[in-house]
């Protein structure tokens, strides 16, 4: 399992950072790998910008090459509330995204 962190940013009112969500993606060969990876890519890497709700931007933080955040960013992120989820579908439910209709509720 790979731990994914997503930062919720309020882009409507001054780009304030609100919450850090985290969930796990299955690794190659694990149950659900293909479906969850496709859902992840469609949400975060699509040209349709599904990671942007009318108010929030959900920014995927990629730590595969190490954590390159500055000391200021680390201090700011440490103060944000965090929300842990078991998989990407629980994350979608928490933010109000309907994966079947590809819309926010």
Both tokens of residue 27? 């690794």
pLDDT of residue 65: 67
pLDDT of residue 76: 85
pLDDT digits (tens, 9 = 90+) for 5-62: 899 999 888 788 889 999 999 999 999 999 999 999 999 988 888 999 988 999 988 7
Provide the domain count of the chain. 1
Both tokens of residue 15? 């780009």
Both tokens of residue 58? 């959900």
Q: In angstroms, how far is CA 6 from the centroid of its own chain?
A: 3
C-alpha–C-alpha distance, residues 104 and 67, integer Å:
30
pLDDT of residue 34: 95
Contact 25, 40 (CB under 8 A): yes
Work out the average pLDDT over 58-70.
Answer: 79
Question: pTM for the whole thing?
Answer: 0.86
Per the structure, the complete domain to which residue 24 belongs is given by 2-104
């Amino acid at each position: 399992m790979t731990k994914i962190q997503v930062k919720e940013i309020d882009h409507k009112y001054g780009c304030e950072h609100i919450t850090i969500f985290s969930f796990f993606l299955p690794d190659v060969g694990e149950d659900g790998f293909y479906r969850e990876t496709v859902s992840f890519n469609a949400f975060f890497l699509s040209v349709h910008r599904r990671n942007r709700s009318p108010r929030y931007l959900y920014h995927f933080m990629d730590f595969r090459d190490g954590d390159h955040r500055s000391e200021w960013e680390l201090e700011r992120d440490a103060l944000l509330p965090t929300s842990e989820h078991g998989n990407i579908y629980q994350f979608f439910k928490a933010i109000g995204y309907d994966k079947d209709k590809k819309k926010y509720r």
